[in-house]
Amino acid sequence: MSEARIDKWMWAARIFKTRSIAAEACKKGRVSINGAQAKAARTVKPGDVVQVRKPPITYSFRVLQPIEKRVGAKLLPEVMENVTTPDQYELLEMSRVSGFVNRAKGTGRPTKKDRRELEEFTTPEFTDDFDFDFDFDEEEDK
């Protein structure tokens, strides 16, 4: 087999947990092959570079074998090569370290801990030390 559907290949190469999630990513425009957006039925060949956007980073994989049947994790180096740039992994690490986590819409009210962290994040520390008393009387006397 020298070609395989991109959604089946991403599922078989364990990039996505299910084939339907892989097809949905293609439908949303998060998958590209050699720089061009790919639909789920597009085929991949050995040597193609598949880019998958999973916010906050974009993963890049080089196809070594176009397979359509899922393989064990130990066999993945024979199927694909991870060519993601190091700066993308730095972005991932920065988002993990930042500490500020965006809440998903519809998850309900923030907990007390979330509220305290938000207040700590948004409250500037220097406003407490600044003296706001201005002497305007001296300027008026002149």
Q: Is 5 helix (H, G, I), strand (E, B) or coil?
A: strand
Question: Who contacts 26 (Cβ-Cβ below 8 Å, separation ≥6)?
Answer: 6, 7, 38, 39, 40, 42
- The answer to whether residue 103 sits within a structural domain is no
Q: Is the pTM of this model over 0.75?
A: no
- The answer to whether residue 102 sits within a structural domain is no
- The answer to whether residue 40 sits within a structural domain is yes
- The answer to whether residue 136 sits within a structural domain is no
Nearest to 48 by CA among 16, 6, 17: 6
Q: Model confidence over 22-77: pLDDT tens digits?
A: 999 999 999 999 989 999 999 999 999 999 998 888 999 999 999 999 999 899 99
Residue-number span of the structural domain to which 19 is assigned: 4-97
Distance in angstroms (rounded) separating the CA atoms of residues 6 and 31: 9
Q: Model confidence over 4-20: pLDDT tens digits?
A: 999 999 999 999 999 99
CATH number of the domain to which 38 belongs: 3.10.290.10
Overall number of domains in the chain: 1
- The answer to whether residue 128 sits within a structural domain is no
- The answer to whether residue 37 sits within a structural domain is yes
Q: Is residue 121 pLDDT above 70, yes or no?
A: yes
Please report the pLDDT score of residue 117 as a whole number. Answer: 82
Q: Is residue 111 pLDDT above 60, yes or no?
A: yes
Rounded to 5 degrees, what are φ and ψ at 103? -85, 135
Distance in angstroms (rounded) separating the CA atoms of residues 87 and 58: 10
